Amino acid sequence: MVNAILDPLIVIFVSALLLPQVSKIGEYLKFPKLRDFFAFIMLGASMLLIVYMIPSVPLSYHVNVFGPPFGIELYASMMSIYLALVSLTMVLLVTFYSVKYMEADNGLDKYYTLILTLSGGIVGLVFSQDFFTLYVFWELICISSYTLVSFRKYRWQAVEGGIKYLLMSTIGSLIALYGISMLYGIAGTLNFSSLANIVVKHQPSTPVYFIIVAIIVGFGMSSAIVPFHSWIPDAYVGAPNCIASISTVVLKISAFNIIRSLLIVFNPSYYDYGLILICFGLLSLTIGNFLAVTQKDIRRLLAFSSVSNMGYIFTGVGIASYIIYTYGYVFSYAFEIALIGVFLHMLNHVFGKGLLFMTVGNFSVQTKNYSLNALEGLVKKMPLSSFSAAVGLLGLAGVPPLSGFWSKLFIIASAATVLSDPILFITLAFLVFNSVFDAAYYVWVFQKIVFRPVSEKGQSATEVSVFMWLPVVVLASLLIVITIRLDLFITFVRAALWSLFGGV
């Protein structure tokens, strides 16, 4: 081993370099799927290396060749391990799913290379301990994502979705970069730990709040928060369904950029940005729900519901920040509950929405249609895919006792901490209203699949290949396991949370 923190990155990036040659070997051996299984095995190996790191955290790795402003440092904490494992689990299952779902496409050596570079970008980003390294890996994620969204470039939807995603995300990245450059001008370093010690000594001022807003808006564009959400339905419609599943990971990683930047660098007990996050969160939550319920295409419904779910995440972080700034550590338990809810909801949404996009892919292969009406009665024709979709829908609806209920409840409970506070009271009202609202349309889709007669388009449907139904069954099983052993997952999430603030 070179260094435990570098091992998974080396495995992923070397695999990405080797994959085109592996693809040629597969063609020579008359076994073209060799590249598919090579990508799957290498991603699995990188996950095992990350699991192997858990007993040794925290781990750090410095590149001493460069000084500030570069300050290159990788740092593995329980939070980075948590996010890396959640992300790679989703990517690993998508890779397995792609063996069958993408087999008719051309250029699959490039497809799997992009999957690997995207995975390496995600792992590198969550291990980054400075803004320079973070931004390099973020750009790698963005470039891979743009290309994957537009992979089926012969379809106009793919080109349109990719261009919109490229434009919005590029503008956002430049805004965030400008804020980061201003931050370096104030502090003289880009290292998170050093910045936390330096920035807290500065009086809250207009330039500092400008930096905070630039980071929120910049990375918020890739998080699809309102009003920067217009790209997401077209990107999801244009991308292959398996890539739409991976995009749920990219949304959370983008949100994590904001969460980590604010909570570590700009101490929430000293800087007042909680209300800004609450406003973005409630707007996303409400508008996302209203747009979702008007859709007839299941992909667009799921896209807008992702906007809504990002609203829960930003509202939760906003509540935690607002409470600490306004009331100090008297209500520190509410701060913790809100953020546990946020990171648990990230897990629920990645697995639940990723599952749904893959089951939509299964349904569309059989019905040749993305209409909501085409889903009717498919449980009779495609039981494995349908029951898995049911778990995802009910989990995202927040139906108890599934884990999606608990992540939403933690965020709602944190808002109920100080009912005499008008901001928290209004936030609570919006959260309760929207939790009922989104539950209604998720359950509505659920009953179409399970209780309606088979639609005309579904009459000839049969269950798909094992490569396509097994990943969704695994994800549904994971959501059930999380529900059954919620105590263990909350303990892990809590440890991950406090590792952001100096714990392991």
Who wins on pLDDT, 322 or 502? 322
pLDDT in tens, 312-330: 999 999 999 999 999 887 7
Note the pLDDT of residue 186. 87
Q: Give residue 194's region: left, alpha or beta (phi > 0; psi -120 to 50).
A: alpha
| Token pair in block for residue 133 | 């390294």
Does 54 score more than 80 pLDDT?
yes
Note the pLDDT of residue 56. 87
What does the alpha-carbon distance between residue 469 and residue 358 come to, in Å, rounded to a whole number? 9
Counting Cα atoms < 13 Å in the Cβ hemisphere of 265 gives: 25
Does 336 score more than 70 pLDDT?
yes
pLDDT in tens, 383-406: 999 999 999 999 999 999 999 999
Does 1 score more than 80 pLDDT?
no
Note the pLDDT of residue 503. 52
Cβ pair 162, 146 in contact under 8 A: yes
pTM of the model: 0.94
Lowest mean pLDDT among 13-22, 83-92, 149-158: 149-158
pLDDT > 90 in the chain, percent: 73
Per the prediction, the chain carries an average pLDDT of: 91
Note the pLDDT of residue 246. 93
Q: Is 422 exposed, middle or buried (0-12, 13-18, 19+ CB in 10 A)?
A: exposed
Q: Which helix (H) or strand (E) holds 61?
A: strand 59-62
Note the pLDDT of residue 16. 95
Which residue in 263, 397, 398 sits closest to 317, CA to CA?
263
Q: How much is the average pLDDT of 220-228?
A: 92
Which residue in 123, 108, 103, 101 sits closest to 43, CA to CA?
123
**Does residue 199 sit in helix, strand or coil?**
helix
Does 3 score more than 80 pLDDT?
no
| Token pair in block for residue 43 | 């991603």
Does 237 score more than 60 pLDDT?
yes
Contact residues for 348 (Cβ-Cβ < 8 A; gap 6+) = 395, 396, 403, 404, 407, 479, 482
Cβ pair 191, 129 in contact under 8 A: yes
What does the alpha-carbon distance between residue 260 and residue 263 come to, in Å, rounded to a whole number? 5
| Token pair in block for residue 140 | 């790698």
Q: How far is CA 189 from the centre of its chain?
A: 28
Q: Is 459 exposed, middle or buried (0-12, 13-18, 19+ CB in 10 A)?
A: exposed
Q: How does residue 347 score in pLDDT terms, banded at 50, 70 and 90?
A: very high
SS3 sequence of 104-144? CCCCHHHHHHHHHHHHHHHHHHHHECEHHHHHHHHHHHHHH
pLDDT in tens, 440-491: 999 999 999 999 998 888 888 899 999 999 999 999 999 999 999 999 999 9
- Residue type for position 436: V
Beta bridge partners of residue 377, listed in sequence order: none
Identify whether 227 is preceded by a cis peptide bond (ω within 30 of 0).
yes
* Cβ count within 10 A of residue 409: 17
Q: How much is the average pLDDT of 97-120?
A: 94
What does the alpha-carbon distance between residue 338 and residue 268 come to, in Å, rounded to a whole number? 14
- Residue type for position 471: P
Contact residues for 158 (Cβ-Cβ < 8 A; gap 6+) = 149, 150, 151, 152, 238, 239
Q: Give residue 240's region: left, alpha or beta (phi > 0; psi -120 to 50).
A: beta
Q: How does residue 502 score in pLDDT terms, banded at 50, 70 and 90?
A: low
What DSSP letter does each residue of 275-303 carry, written as one string? HHHHHHHHHHHHHHHHHHHT-SBHHHHHH
| Token pair in block for residue 467 | 């490569």
**Does residue 462 sit in helix, strand or coil?**
coil
Integer-rounded Cα radius of gyration of the chain: 22
Q: Is 238 exposed, middle or buried (0-12, 13-18, 19+ CB in 10 A)?
A: buried
What does the alpha-carbon distance between residue 170 and residue 184 come to, in Å, rounded to a whole number? 21
What does the alpha-carbon distance between residue 143 and residue 117 come to, in Å, rounded to a whole number? 9
Does 364 score more than 70 pLDDT?
yes
Which residue in 371, 378, 304, 314 sits closest to 341, CA to CA?
314
pLDDT > 70 in the chain, percent: 97
Beta bridge partners of residue 76, listed in sequence order: 59
| Residue spans per domain, the chain | 326-504
Q: How does residue 269 score in pLDDT terms, banded at 50, 70 and 90?
A: confident
Who wins on pLDDT, 221 or 331? 221
Q: How much is the average pLDDT of 70-83?
A: 87
pLDDT in tens, 290-302: 999 999 999 999 9
